Amino acid sequence: MSGTRVTADAGEGEQPVAHHLRHPCPGCATPIQIQRFACGGCWRRIPGNLRTAIARSWGRRLNGVTGAVGEHLSAKTAAVEWLEQHPREEGHK
């Protein structure tokens, strides 16, 4: 267990955002930064194993590991599918 630190979940996105990225979470219009997968609220809703897969493959991608780009893409796709199956209203209590 190395405990690799990844910046994917850092911050709450309070600063103005220049790039409006397509948001992966249905029903959520929160602007997110280009390098971030989702806003803080949506990111926290994603199951831990999916977040780990995204963060881990992102770290490998930064390190230039072969195949990490595709790995990161499929990890994000899995998370987007999860968000589509769990719209924001359901998770709001």
**30 binds Zn ion per the rule CB under 5 A:** yes
Token pair listed for 43: 């990111």
Residue 61 CB, nearest distance to Zn ion (Å)? 22
Using CB under 5 A, count the residues that bind Zn ion: 5
**33 binds Zn ion per the rule CB under 5 A:** no
| CA separation for the pair 45, 25 (Å, rounded) | 10
Q: By the 8 A CB rule, do 83 and 25 touch?
A: yes
**83 binds Zn ion per the rule CB under 5 A:** no
DSSP state, 79? H
Binding positions for Zn ion, rule: CB under 5 A: 25, 28, 30, 39, 42
